[in-house]
Amino acid sequence: MKLKNALLIITAAGLMVACATNPFTGKKTMALVPNSQLFPTSFAQYDQFLSENKVVTGTSDADMVTRVGQKIAVAAERWLNANGHVGYLNDYKWEYKLVSDETVNAWCMPGGKIVVYTGILPIAKGETGLAAIMGHEVAHALANHGQQRMSAAYVQQGVAIAGNVAIKDEESRNAFNQYYGIGSQVGVMLPFSRAHETEADKIGLYLMAIAGYNPDEAAELWKRMSALSGSGSTPELLSTHPSNDSRIANLTSLAPTAKQEAAKFGVTSFK
């Protein structure tokens, strides 16, 4: 009974602080770490990362990263302003850096700090593919996915602590830790992460389309990603990301909607 009460208290606490709003879905989201704390930490970590890695400047690729990033940022502001979220980006400090690293990756930290690794450029195959990548990464930041993941992790840890405090019997406590660890990861945290990826895919399509890039290219990009990963990818159930096939199908189905969204802003032809 004590364990049940503890779990309810932790869950209720998580819901009570769910005061942030996802501007793209209108849904309330957990925000145990407010942006007023999250952004300065993000900016400091970004600066440290740049100081420890080789930033590429003065090349056509570096210029392309900046150009695409700026267009995506403008598209985000246009969409947010048109949908009643004027000022949403006031605390963002956009920065776009190309880093020399063969890793096939790119990311955007909370507050608009973006890194693209040189290793992903051959997969992007040009500016439109890069727009699909950067649109997706920016979408994570705009939808506060980092904030939500941190909050969910705190709740997950809180429940684990409450369980260990409430369960006095060592054998039962060990069983709780084993099954809760697996169950909360596979049943809650991983689906949570996959939902974020799917949401970022949709938002990213809108952003790239409003920025003037053909959203059809996003599915083509992921076909190339799928070919790169081969048949050894992690099963979707155990992964933080949807399967490549699921992703490609979803992006393909959403592309016409993204074009319709772009048309609202007078964008009817795409690069």
Residues 31-47: pLDDT tens digits? 667 778 889 999 999 99
User: Quick one: average pLDDT of 183-204?
Assistant: 68
Q: How far is CA 50 from the centre of its chain?
A: 20
Looking at residue 34, its pLDDT comes to 77
Residue 1: how many CB atoms within 10 A of its CB? 6
More confident residue, 227 or 153: 227
User: Quick one: average pLDDT of 241-269?
Assistant: 93
**Structure token digits, residue 205:** 């399509």
More confident residue, 141 or 159: 141
Q: What is the pLDDT of residues 169-191, one digit of tens each?
A: 766 666 555 644 555 454 445 44
Looking at residue 229, its pLDDT comes to 75
Residue 106 has pLDDT above 50, yes or no: yes
Percent of the chain past pLDDT 70, that is, above it, reads 69
Looking at residue 195, its pLDDT comes to 73
Q: Which residues contact residue 194 at a Cβ distance below 8 angstroms, ignoring those fewer than 6 apart?
A: 236, 239, 240, 241, 242
User: Quick one: average pLDDT of 142-160?
Assistant: 64
3 pLDDT tier (thresholds 50, 70, 90): very low
User: Quick one: average pLDDT of 204-211?
Assistant: 98
Residue 34: how many CB atoms within 10 A of its CB? 12
Q: Which residues of 170-185 are buried (b: 16+ CB within 10 A; e: fewer)?
A: eeebeebeeebeeebe
194 pLDDT tier (thresholds 50, 70, 90): low
268 pLDDT tier (thresholds 50, 70, 90): very high
Q: Which residues contact residue 233 at a Cβ distance below 8 angstroms, ignoring those fewer than 6 apart?
A: 239, 243, 244
* Single-letter residue type at 47: D
Give the active site residues. Answer: 137
Residue 112 has pLDDT above 90, yes or no: yes
Distance (Å, rounded) from C-alpha 228 to C-alpha 231? 9
Q: What is the mean pLDDT of the chain?
A: 82
